[in-house]
Amino acid sequence: MTVIGDAAWRKRERARKLKEGIWQAGLLFTVALLIGYFVLNVSTNLQARSIHSGFDFLLERAGIEIGETLIDFSSTDTFFKAFVVGLLNTIKVSVISIISATVIGVLIGLMRLSSHPLLRMLGTAHVEFYRNIPLLVQLLLIYMLITELLPMSTEALQFGQWALLSKAGLQVSIPIHNGVAILSGLAVFVVSFLLFKVRFQKKYTDLVSNILSGIISFLFSFFTWILFGIFSGWSHPEIQGFAIEGGTSLSPEFLSLWIGLTLFTSASIAEIVRAGVLAVPQRQWSASYALGMSSLETISYVIFPQALRLAIPPLSSQYMNLTKNSSLAVIVGYPDLVSIGNSTINLNGQALEVIVITMVVYLFLNLVISVLMNLLNARVTRGTRQ
C-alpha cells in the first residue's frame, strides 16, 4: 500500500468510526430519554393516586417471620435484611442444585453413550421423563410425595443414628462445632488442591489436573470434616416427643426444590454431555489408539477436552436457567427471594419496587455465572483459536 493510499485508508477509517460513534451516542441518548420519560410518568401517576413510592421501605420493620434462614432473622429486622435472607436462600439452593445436577447429568450422559443396552435405556428414560414434564408439575409432585407419603416425625425413617427422614424433612448428624469443621474442611480443600495441581500438572493437561485435584481435594476436606466430628463429638438427630432434636435439618420445601431442580436440569446436561462427546470425530479415537494410547488416556487427553470445549457454552445457559427456575420455590413454600418479595408486596403494596429489586438481583446472579463460565471457557479453549 502506498503512502497516499495508506493516508486515504486511515482517513476513511476515522470517518467511519466517527459516524459509528455519533450513531451510538444518539441511540444511547434516545434510550436515556425513553427511560427518563417512563420513570417520570410512573412517578407522576403514583403521586396522583397518593401511592407511596421509593425504596425507603427497605429500612422499615419487616414484621414477617422466615422459617428457614442462613443468618439470624426476626420480625423486628428490616425489609432489607429479609431480602438478604431470601437472596442467601436462593444462592444456597442454586449452588447445591448446580453441583448435583452436573454430577448426575454427566453420569446420565455417559450412560446414554454406553454400549450396554440396560444402561443406555435407563439413561434415555431419565432424560425423556424429566425433560418433557414441566418443572412446576415435578415440584408439586415431589412436594406431595414428601409431605403425604413419608411418616410423621414420631415415626421417622431411621438410617442408624446418622439421619432421620419424615414429613418434617431430612435431619442429619453434624459435628458439634460444625462451623469450625466446615472452615477446616475449606482450608484443607484449598491447600490440597494447590499441592495436587502441582503434582498432576507434570503428568496431565491443565484441564485433567484441575478436575483430579478438585475431586481428591473434596474427598480430603470431607474426610477432615468427618475426623473433626469424631474427635469433637457428633450432634445426632433424636426423636423427642413430637419433635426431632439435634443434628441439622433440611426442610421438605428445600428438599422438594433441590430434587426438582437437580433432576430437571440433569436431563438437559446429560444431552449436552452426550452431544459434546459425539461431536468429537471418530478418527480422533482411531488416531489415539494408533499412537498406542489406552482408553483412559484417550478420553483424558483427546476426547474429554474437545467435548468440554463444545459443552461449556450450553452448560452456562443451563446453570443460568436453573438459577432463574429457583424462583418457583414460591410454589412449595421455600423462602427464596421471590417468596420474600411477595410477602413484602402484601404488607406495603410497593409492587414496582419489589419487582425491580428481584429483577436486578437475578440479573446480577446470572451475570456472575456468565462471567465465571466465560472465564472457564476461555481457559479451556486457550490455544485452539487462530
Q: How far is CA 304 from CA 25, 89, 308, in A?
A: 45, 34, 6
The residue count of the chain comes to: 386
SS3 45: helix
Confidence check: pLDDT of 383 > 60: no
For residues 294-314, one letter each, b for 16 or more C-beta atoms within 10 angstroms of the residue's C-beta and e for the rest, the string is eeeebbbbbbbbbbbbbbbeb
pLDDT at 325: 94
46: left (phi over 0), alpha (psi -120 to 50) or beta: alpha
List the one residue out of 233, 252, 124 whose CA is nearest residue 176: 233
pTM value is: 0.82
Confidence of residue 3 (pLDDT cuts 50, 70, 90): low
Rounded to 5 degrees, what angle do the CA atoms 373, 375, 381 make? 100
151-164 pLDDT tens trace:
888 888 888 888 88
Confidence check: pLDDT of 340 > 90: yes
User: Does 241 or 165 have the greater pLDDT score?
Assistant: 165
Residues 6+ apart with CB under 8 A from 332: 139, 140, 143, 252, 253, 256, 257
For residues 315-333, one letter each, b for 16 or more C-beta atoms within 10 angstroms of the residue's C-beta and e for the rest, the string is bbebbbbbbebbbbbbbbb
* Lowest mean per-residue pLDDT among 50-54, 57-61, 115-119, 195-199: 50-54
Q: How far apart are CA 267 and CA 133, in angstroms?
A: 11
Confidence check: pLDDT of 35 > 50: yes
Q: What average pLDDT is seen over the chain?
A: 85
Give the count of alpha carbons within 13 A of 72, CB side only. Answer: 1
CATH class, range 79-173+236-380? mainly alpha
Confidence check: pLDDT of 100 > 90: yes
Most confident stretch, 53-67, 184-198, 200-214, 354-368: 354-368
Amino acid identity for residue 194 in this structure: L
Confidence check: pLDDT of 122 > 90: yes
List the one residue out of 172, 160, 159, 173 whose CA is nearest residue 232: 173
Mean pLDDT of 166-186: 85
Confidence of residue 242 (pLDDT cuts 50, 70, 90): confident
